[in-house]
Amino acid sequence: MDCGTPFCQSRHLSGCPVANLIPEWNALVYRDEWREAHLRLSATNNFPEFTGRVCPAPCEGACVAGLVEEPVTIKNIEYAIVDRAWEEGWITPRLPPMRTGLNVAVVGSGPAGLAAADELNQMGHSVAVFEREDRIGGLLMYGIPNMKLDKSTVNRRIQLLHDEGITFRTNADVGSNVRESLADQMDAIVLCTGASIPRHADVPGKDLAGFLTSNQKRLLASKEGSLKSRWNKDWINAEGKDVVVIGGGDTGTDCIATALRHRCRSIVNLEHNTAPPLTRSPANPWPQYPKIHGVDYGHAEVLAVFGEDPRQYERSTVRFEGDELGHLTHVVRLCCCC
């Protein structure tokens, strides 16, 4: 490809954080050499079917073509390559040629834990993954909603890892119900426990019933398909409710889209930042990730259902108010532009 300097894969300053060989597999796709494109893609990426669906695509923001026209749709090409690889049967279990005799425990089965387990297993170590939830996947299973990453895609990769010799233990809360000493049984332990501790809003009324952190909301939404959690008293449904989502990032967008699928009555998204510009500002030059106004899938869906964008910019939450029973009724906000 005639890119000049391919900032899309530069990794440290901009572009792909896993240093995908983007120009190489783009060129292979252009030449209709899809299997070779898959080999180059999988050389740097353990799970391209995940990143190709949920990554915010900083590679496209750093694409040289974006200086004169629309950038190459790298993210779409990525998951087209890996989806074709699955369909064609090119992705099969890869058993290591020999075992080292070393045992490694990976605590946590999110994307980091699965990637670590995959790499260690391919080196020949015997790997056991411990997960405190009832299903393997961590953030992939309980942090990303189905419409963004279907769980069959996650389970397919987990089954492949199992077929390659990795063992998985669910409902295994290391330090709690896992009583054996992993330090005595394992030659090494890799901690990939994620960021499951929520950041609470430090404003009055945060203890009212009806106030949820994104961790709670997404966990409950992802467990909707299981009878165990469907009948759990902690199951939350936004149907018929007026929903306020505080925070305008990817997580906020996922919560918006989830509430919409619950058939909420209304939805508002509060963002304390100013509305982003339509084009790059001088302080945000190429090839940095473009901090410009965009319409993500959740915003577009709310616009289609309710007729208006849910986002309200420069809004700071002052307090939450409730009724005499302790249920949330109002969110008091302040316009930061005043």
Same domain membership, residue 109 and residue 82: no
Instruction: Quote the pLDDT of residue 330.
Output: 85
pLDDT at site 205: 82
How far is the C-alpha of 68 from the C-alpha of 78, rounded, in Å? 23
β-bridge mates for residue 128, sequence order: 105, 167
Domain that holds residue 174: 103-191
Residues 48 and 107 in one domain: no
**What pLDDT, on a 0 to 100 scale, did the predictor assign at position 235?**
64
Closest CA to 104 of 159, 150, 166: 166
| pLDDT given at position 337 | 66
Both tokens assigned to 148:
């963004």
Q: How far apart are CA 235 and CA 250, in angstroms?
A: 23
**pLDDT given for residue 14 in this prediction:** 85
Whether 313 is covered by a domain: the verdict is yes
**Same domain for 224 and 328?**
yes
Residues 6+ apart with CB under 8 A from 13: 7, 287
Question: Nearest Cα to 74, choosing from 8, 121, 146?
Answer: 8
CATH number of the domain to which 242 belongs: 3.50.50
pLDDT at 211: 78
Average pLDDT for runs of 10 along the chain of length 338: 83 87 96 98 96 94 92 95 98 96 96 98 98 92 89 96 97 80 89 82 81 62 45 67 91 91 93 92 93 93 96 89 87 76
Q: Are residues 112 and 77 in the same domain?
A: no
Cis bond before residue 287 (omega within 30° of 0): yes
pLDDT of residue 123: 97
221 and 176 inside one domain:
no
Note the pTM of the prediction, 2 decimals.
Answer: 0.88
